[in-house]
C-alpha cells in the first residue's frame, strides 16, 4: 500500500554514486520529490527521467530537490545518468534489494523492482502528496507541479 499524505517519510541511506551515500535527513528543511521508477535504460523510465531533468528549474523555483530511486546498482545509475545527462541524484535501492521501495509501499514483488511512483515530502519530512502511476505510463511532471503549487498556497495562508 503506497504511503499517503500526512505520513512521515521513512528515512533512508542509499548510494548516489559508487562512493557516496545520501540520506533523506540530508535534505531536512527542504522539499524533496522522490521519483521511484522500475529500471534504468527502459524506454518509459528514460523518457520520464529526461522530462524530470528538463523540469528541474521548475522544481527548484518551488524550493524542491529531486531524487530518483530504483533497485538498479550504483554502477548502472552512474552510466545511465551520464548517458542521459541527468542533473539530479539516482539512488540505488539495491541491497537489501527494494528495502526503501517496500517502506514506501511501491515495491513490485512479482517483477523484483520499484513501481513507478512519486512522492512530495515537505520541509518537516511529511509526505504531502503521493502518486502510483499505472504500469508503462510516464506520469509526467504536472502532478508534482500541482502538488508543489498547492503546498506553496497552504504555506502562504
Residue 9 clears pLDDT 90, i.e. is over it: yes
Residue 37 clears pLDDT 80, i.e. is over it: yes
Distance CA 106, CA 37 (A): 9
- Residue ranges of domains in the chain: 13-155
Look up the CATH superfamily of 13-155: Glutaredoxin (3.40.30.10)
**Which residue in 112, 114, 90 sits closest to 2, CA to CA?**
114
Q: pTM for this one?
A: 0.96
The predicted structure's pLDDT at residue 155: 77
* Active-site hit among 45, 69, 71, 91: 45
Catalytic residue check, 45: yes
Q: What are the pLDDT digits (tens) for 109-122?
A: 999 999 999 999 99
Residue 6 clears pLDDT 80, i.e. is over it: yes
The predicted structure's pLDDT at residue 80: 98
Residue 157 clears pLDDT 80, i.e. is over it: no
Residue 154 clears pLDDT 90, i.e. is over it: no
The H-or-E segment that residue 20 falls in is strand 20-23
Amino acid at each position: 500500500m503506497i504511503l499517503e499524505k500526512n505520513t512521515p517519510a521513512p528515512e533512508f541511506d542509499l548510494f548516489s554514486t559508487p562512493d557516496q551515500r545520501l540520506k533523506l535527513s540530508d535534505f531536512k528543511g527542504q522539499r524533496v520529490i522522490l521519483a521511484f521508477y522500475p529500471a534504468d535504460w527502459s524506454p518509459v523510465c528514460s523518457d520520464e527521467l529526461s522530462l524530470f531533468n528538463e523540469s528541474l528549474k521548475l522544481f527548484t523555483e518551488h524550493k524542491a530537490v529531486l531524487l530518483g530511486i530504483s533497485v538498479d546498482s550504483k554502477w548502472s545509475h552512474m552510466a545511465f545518468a551520464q548517458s542521459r545527462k541527468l542533473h539530479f541524484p539516482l539512488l540505488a535501492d539495491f541491497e537489501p534489494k527494494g528495502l526503501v521501495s517496500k517502506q514506501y509501499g511501491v515495491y513490485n514483488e512479482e517483477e523484483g523492482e520499484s513501481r513507478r511512483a512519486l512522492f512530495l515530502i515537505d520541509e518537516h519530512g511529511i509526505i504531502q502528496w503521493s502518486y502510483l502511476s499505472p504500469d508503462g505510463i510516464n506520469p509526467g511532471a504536472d502532478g508534482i507541479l500541482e502538488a508543489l503549487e498547492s503546498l506553496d498556497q497552504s504555506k502562504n495562508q
